Structure 1
Amino acid sequence: MPMSSTHPTFSVIIATYNGAATLSRAVDSVLAQSYKNFEIIVVDDGSTDDTPAVIRRYGAKVRYHHQSNSGVSNARNTGAKLARGEWLAFLDVDDWYYPHRLAWHARLLQRQPDLDFLIGDYDYGRANGEVMRRAIDSSGFGAMVLASADEHDTAIVDLDDMAQFIPSYFGHTSTFSVPRRTFLRLGGYAESFSIGEDLHLLIRACARSRSVGIVCKPMAFYCVHDAGLMRSDTVSAQVRNVETLLSLKHELEQAPAPVKRGFLKALMNARFDLAVALIRNRKRLRAIASFLPALADNASLHSFRMLLSVMKG
């Protein structure tokens, strides 16, 4: 199917596992979009709760697919295979879209149809809707992007920016839009990882991209949960995050230089986060050992300073 720059079509994929309590809120946020050229696909990853009953209430407004429990990445990939839209968009079952999320990406594509993929800012907050902070404010690169935004509150990242864009990534699954054919060519989300799979896909997409569109205002709401793995078992989560990134090392040997630099910075940051988690668990020697490989990959004054910080605890 040829890509349409006039009225791009979106397939919004919601993967859920026992998410009946928040599923309606997620689906309703998509149905309330000001841009209407979309379909909704809910992939039920083996739920045992009332998910089927919740979806039945929507009738033909939602396409529903049930599968045995295979993990969120597999569920998203299944949705992509079922999709009919030119562009894929994703939404976690406990998060929600803001009303113009699809419209803003559609308008950006109408102005610049050659973009390889698109992301956007989003709000962090509690399940009651309380906003804690904006994602784009979390990095110096985000501030640079905001400063360069045009009259439409959009900005473009090109290949030379990838060295900063990748380690400072402030997007999220809910604000990521990618051509279906690109997603399938990349193999979708890596199903062998449950931590960092979104950054894993983003880096692979960057390695094949020349320009990325960014909407510099919140497009969605991300619910922060204290019981999540990244918060409840920080060391284990950070170990798995490093493992996820390490799996890309060989694949990126032939990637453009800015992408390789960005990847190595992201890996260094992940190693540092692991070292910090280990120090907080009073495992300083293991923390130092976990960070040392970063010096071989990315020797610089900054990486040595990070090592000194780890050694000081």
Structure 2
Amino acid sequence: MDDEFKRELLERLKAIEERLDGLDTSQSQLQEAYARSRAHLRRFWLRPPMWTFEQHSPRPLDLRTLPAPPSLPTCVPTIAIVTPSFNHGQFLAATIDSVIGQNYPALSYHVQDGGSEDDTVAILKGYGDKISWRSEPDQGQSDAINQGFAGVDGDIMAYLNSDDILLPGALTYVAKFFAERPDIDVVYGHRIFIDYAGSEIGRAILPAHSIEALRYAGYVPQETMFWRRRVWDAVGPMDRNFHYALDWDFMLRAQAAGFKFARARRFLACFRVHDAQKTTKNYELGRKEMQRLRLRNLGYVPSQLEISRAIAPYLLRQFICHWSYRLGLLRR
């Protein structure tokens, strides 16, 4: 990538991003951002940032870059969160701590473990009455989530996998967002990628929700997604026939039922990248499940070229948002 191309890229990003909401920049800021970006441009190239987990070498997760939690709404909604778990003892405590550490006053939190053989049960027992939990064999992640929600209730619902974590203030933000936006049924936000040890390795800044793009690709970060109870009641629980694309299936059913999605302008959670995760180990199973969903929702199985063309406008917007954030042109 030569200097002329880099200058042209930065100029185009600046021109387009000036049309987006929330832009706050100056010529001096742009020059400073360009200087900071040179090394990143050499390494990152043009891959879609939302699907590029390892964007830089591991570094401590700096929570000072996140905004302070907002104030609670006048009427505090109850939030029900379920964590499906199986042999993730090395990550589970961090996940639980990220939820109960929110100090949200109306939280129902349950861990549904599939009969783990590691130290999971000992970890769960260590929390006493701070959480509810069960450990017993199940039929997979979807079944565990459904079992978990059978025992907890809330105005707002979400599930958080046992290797991911919520960011501080996420629940308060979500509660206030839903209170201020009664027209929105499902909300999700930006995500941070962390490694096995919990160090940050990248970020994904998402543009506004695209109904069309979601029909072709499950791009919504599941760990950041919350929905109103009425969505679950209308479209039903997680489909136990899906073990990889269960979240995308749920989103597609909700979108097809007319429920409205919105992307929040805030980092809400961290997605952990490690060798033992389903996303890494079960790619072929995931590919088959995604093809099933495309056949069901589109009426045919599109080629990779057709998928790329359909989601290209969304990926371009995401690329612009990502680099505008990385260059300091956008504040999140």
TM-score by length of structure 2 reads: 0.64
8 Å CA contact retained: 1:117, 1:212: yes
Match of 2:150 in 1: 81
Percentage identity across paired residues of the two chains: 23
Q: SS of the counterpart of 2:138?
A: coil
Question: 1:1-313 counterparts in 2 under 5 A?
Answer: 6-136=75-205, 142-143=206-207, 145=208, 161-167=210-216, 170-228=219-277, 230-232=279-281, 234-248=283-297, 268=302, 271-272=303-304, 302=309
Tell me if structure 2 keeps the 8 A contact 1:135–1:171: no
The amino acid that maps onto 1:35 is: Y
| Gap regions ≥5 residues in structure 2 | 1-72, 313-332
**Aligned-residue offset at 1:62:** 0.4
Contact 1:5–1:113 (CA under 8 A) maintained in structure 2: no
- Which amino acid in the other structure matches residue 86 of structure 1? D
How far the C-alpha of 1:27 sits from its partner, in A, is 0.5
> Which amino acid is the alignment partner of residue 132 of structure 1?
I
CA distance in 2, matches of 1:71, 1:213: 29
Aligned residue pairs: how many?
239
Distance 2:247 2:156 in 1: 17
Provide the rounded CA distance (Å) in 2 between the counterparts of 1:81 and 1:190. Answer: 15
> For residue 204 of structure 1, what is the amino acid of its counterpart?
R
Conserved? CA contact 1:11–1:87, under 8 Å: yes
Tell me whether 54-63 or 229-238 shows the greater mean CA deviation.
229-238
TM-score (ref. length: structure 1): 0.67
Distance 2:127 2:242 in 1: 32
Q: 1:116, 1:193 → 2: CA distance? A: 23
Task: Classify 1:227/1:27 alpha carbon distance in 2 versus 1 (closer, same or farther; 3 Å).
Answer: closer
Quote the residue 1:288 is aligned against. Answer: none
| Closer/same/farther in 2, CA of residues 5 and 197 from structure 1, 3 Å limit | farther
Give 1:96's aligned amino acid.
Answer: I
Separation in 2, partners of 1:181, 1:219: 22
The amino acid that maps onto 1:112 is: R
Q: 1:31 to 1:236 in 2, by over 3 A?
A: closer
CA deviations 1:159-198 (Å, max 9, x no partner) are xx51245446543221111123421432221111212111
Q: Aligned equivalents of 2:128 and 2:264: distance in 1?
A: 32
Which runs of 5 or more structure 1 residues have no equivalent in the other structure?
137-141, 146-156, 251-263, 273-290, 306-313
